[in-house]
Amino acid sequence: MNKRVKFLLHWLGVDMVHVSHGERFLVSIGALLGIAICWGISIQFVGTLSATMIVASMGAGAVLLFGVPHGVLSQPWAATGGHLLSAVIGVTCAQQIDEIWLAASLAVGLAVLVMHYARCLHPPGGATALVAVVGGEDIHALGYAYVLEPVMLNALTLLCVALLFNNLLSNRRYPAAWAKKVAAPLSPITASGIRAEHVRAAMDDMDLVEDISEEDLLRIIAKAEAYAVRQNAAAEKEVSRKQP
C-alpha cells in the first residue's frame, strides 16, 4: 500500500485493524438475534411505527455491544444506565415542554450531560431520549412506563444476548472486567515503566473521552513495545550480518 493511500485512509479514519471472519459473523448473528427479540418486545407495547423508532436506538446499541464489546461505552452500566436515565429525561421533557423542537433538543442535551456525570455515556441513549419526545401518541401515552416497558426490557435483553455471544470465542470477554480475570498474566508495567495510572493521568490531562480502558491501552503499549524490541533486534542482526 503506497504512502498516498495510507495517508488518505488515515485522514478518513479508516480502521486498519484486521479482524477474523469468524469474529465478524459472530457479531452479526448476535446483533440479528438481539434486535429480533427487541422488536418482539417493543411491538407488544406500541404500534409498528413507534416500535420501529424504539428499536432504532437499540440497533445503535447492538453495534456497540457486539462490535466493540471491550469499549467503555459498551459496558453493562453504560448499556443499561444510559438508556434508563435518558428515557426518564426524555419523558420529562415531553411532558413539561410544549414546543417539540425545544423538548427534543433539551432531552438529548440533558441526556448527554447526565450520562457523562453518571459515568454511563452510551450514544444510543440520546436516541432513547429523543424518541420519548418525537415518538408519537403511542409512546406519549405510555408516560414514564416507557422507561421500563419497552426501553429497559429491550436494554436488558440486548445485554443478555451480548453476554452469551461475546463469550463464545476465547478472544472475547464481556463485560470487559471479565477479561482481566481470565486473560493470561501480563505485567502492569511496560518496558518503559508506564503504569495504568500514568495512562489515566495522560488522558485526564488531554481531557479525552476514549472508548477503551486504561488497562487495555496499557496492554496495547506493552505489545507495541515488544514488537519494537523484536523489530530493532532483527534490524541490528541484519546490519551486523552485512558488516564484513
Report how far residue 90's alpha carbon sits from residue 147's, in angstroms, rounded to the nearest whole number.
Answer: 9
Q: Are residues 109 and 213 in the same domain?
A: no
Query: Is residue 90 a part of any domain in this protein?
Result: yes
Query: Is residue 187 a part of any domain in this protein?
Result: no
Q: Is the dihedral of CA 198, 19, 79, 13 positive or negative?
A: positive
Domain boundary among 125, 143, 175: 175
Query: Is residue 186 a part of any domain in this protein?
Result: no
Q: Buried (b) or exposed (e) across 122-136, using 16+ Cβ within 10 A? A: bbbbbbbbbbbbbbe
Report how far residue 167's alpha carbon sits from residue 179's, in angstroms, rounded to the nearest whole number.
Answer: 10
Q: Are residues 161 and 55 in the same domain?
A: yes
Q: Are residues 33 and 131 in the same domain?
A: yes
Other beta carbons less than 10 A from residue 161's beta carbon: 23
Q: Are residues 209 and 132 in the same domain?
A: no
Q: Looking only at Cα atoms, what is the longest distance across the chain?
A: 86
Q: Are residues 54 and 155 in the same domain?
A: yes
Helix, strand, or coil here: 193? coil
Q: Are residues 146 and 223 in the same domain?
A: no
Q: In the chain, helix, strand, coil percent, each to 5?
A: 75, 0, 25
Q: Are residues 35 and 68 in the same domain?
A: yes
Q: How much is the pLDDT for 119?
A: 93
Q: Are residues 46 and 153 in the same domain?
A: yes
Closest CA relative to residue 97, chosen from 82, 107, 88, 87: 107
Q: Are residues 104 and 68 in the same domain?
A: yes
Query: Is residue 185 a part of any domain in this protein?
Result: no
- Domain that includes residue 212, residue range: 196-242
Q: How much is the pLDDT for 196?
A: 65
Entry pTM? 0.74
Q: How much is the pLDDT for 180?
A: 56
Q: Are residues 72 and 165 in the same domain?
A: yes
Q: How does pLDDT run along the chain (244 residues), one tens digit per residue?
A: 577 777 777 677 676 566 778 778 888 999 999 999 999 999 999 989 899 999 999 999 999 999 888 888 999 999 999 999 999 999 999 999 999 999 999 999 999 999 999 999 999 999 999 999 999 999 999 999 999 989 999 999 999 999 998 888 776 778 887 765 544 444 455 566 666 667 667 766 766 555 566 666 777 777 777 777 777 777 777 777 776 6
Closest CA relative to residue 131, chosen from 42, 65, 44: 42
Query: Is residue 230 a part of any domain in this protein?
Result: yes
Report how far residue 59's alpha carbon sits from residue 44's, in angstroms, rounded to the nearest whole number.
Answer: 18
CA-to-CA dists, residue 164 to 25, 167, 174, angstroms: 15, 6, 9
Query: Is residue 12 a part of any domain in this protein?
Result: no
How far is C-alpha 91 from the geometric centre of its chain's CA atoms? 24
Q: Are residues 171 and 201 in the same domain?
A: no
Q: How much is the pLDDT for 182?
A: 43
